[in-house]
């Protein structure tokens, strides 16, 4: 049976993305070649490299591909549901790596510092809870998303928060979550959750320094409002 001319194997070895990556290093590959490595295979009509070039043209480059939804990516012939997930996952890993580099060792000197760092990232259609780990000098060690919920509620297990804090050897933590409605006003549940975390932190020797709730380009800080002092006082009196 005649080999389909559109398979990657039909290309000369020296121009196949996998072979070029192995010989030269991934940093020497073009954007299209790197995308082709992720796509792995093409169709009867197009190689993975040609599909990658189509993606770059359709979405205007890597930034556009990274911003595209799974649905939009899967509309491209040769991509489909699974490859769209692979592409989205790769871009998400890149985004997380960039975020870690951006915030690592940043010293937090005010609530506004941390609000400015995370305001854009805490905009989401679903409620998410994130914990920021700080060292003894109030520098960011890293942050972790510990829960993603529905459009109005994220279920949080305190163990997830403090496991992350212990693993990261954090001296203190900042809790953050968003209100997809855009209203950052704290609810009764938010107050109860904050107090529960403060009490748990006292037992473990990890201080909860603030809890920020993000809305539509706004935030509410339990520390700035004075609520954290009241909650910490109650936790101390409770032993």
Please tell me the pTM assigned to this model.
0.63
Verify that 56 and 24 share a domain, yes or no: yes
Verify that 79 and 140 share a domain, yes or no: no
pLDDT, average across residues 5-28: 69
pLDDT, average across residues 190-216: 94
pLDDT, average across residues 201-208: 94
Q: Quick check: is 3 in a domain?
A: no
pLDDT(154) > 60: no
pLDDT, average across residues 151-167: 80
pLDDT digits (tens, 9 = 90+) for 67-94: 889 999 999 999 999 999 999 999 888 8
CATH number at residue 170: 3.40.140.10
Per-residue pLDDT, 1: 39
160: containing domain: 104-237
Among 100, 123, 154, identify where a domain stops.
100
- Burial category of 201 from C-beta neighbours within 10 Å (exposed 0-12, middle 13-18, buried 19 and up): buried
Dist CA 148 CA 143 (whole Å): 14
- Say how many domains are in the chain: 2
Q: Quick check: is 70 in a domain?
A: yes
pLDDT, average across residues 153-178: 89
Instruction: Give the number of other CB atoms < 10 A from CB of residue 145.
Output: 17
């Amino acid at each position: 049976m005649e080999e389909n001319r559109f398979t990657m194997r039909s290309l000369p070895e020296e121009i196949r993305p996998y072979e070029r990556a192995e010989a030269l290093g991934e940093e020497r590959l073009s954007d299209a070649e790197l995308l082709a490595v992720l796509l792995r295979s093409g169709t009867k009509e197009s190689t993975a490299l040609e599909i990658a070039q189509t993606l770059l043209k359709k979405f205007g480059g890597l930034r556009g591909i990274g911003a595209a939804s799974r649905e939009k990516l899967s509309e491209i012939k040769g991509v489909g549901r699974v490859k769209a997930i692979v592409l989205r996952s790769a871009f998400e890993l890149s985004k997380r790596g960039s975020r870690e580099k951006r915030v690592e060792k940043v010293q937090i000197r005010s609530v506004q510092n941390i609000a400015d760092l995370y305001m854009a990232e805490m905009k989401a259609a679903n409620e998410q809870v994130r914990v920021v780990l700080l060292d003894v000098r109030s520098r960011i060690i890293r942050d972790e998303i510990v829960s993603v919920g529905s459009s109005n509620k994220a279920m949080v297990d305190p163990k997830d928060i403090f496991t992350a804090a212990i693993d990261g050897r954090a001296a203190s933590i900042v809790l953050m979550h968003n209100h997809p409605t855009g209203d950052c006003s704290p609810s009764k549940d938010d107050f109860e959750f904050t107090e529960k975390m403060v009490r748990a932190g006292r037992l473990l020797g990890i201080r909860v320094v603030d809890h920020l709730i993000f809305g539509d380009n706004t935030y509410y800080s339990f520390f700035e409002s004075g609520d954290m002092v009241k909650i910490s006082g109650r936790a101390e009196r409770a032993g």
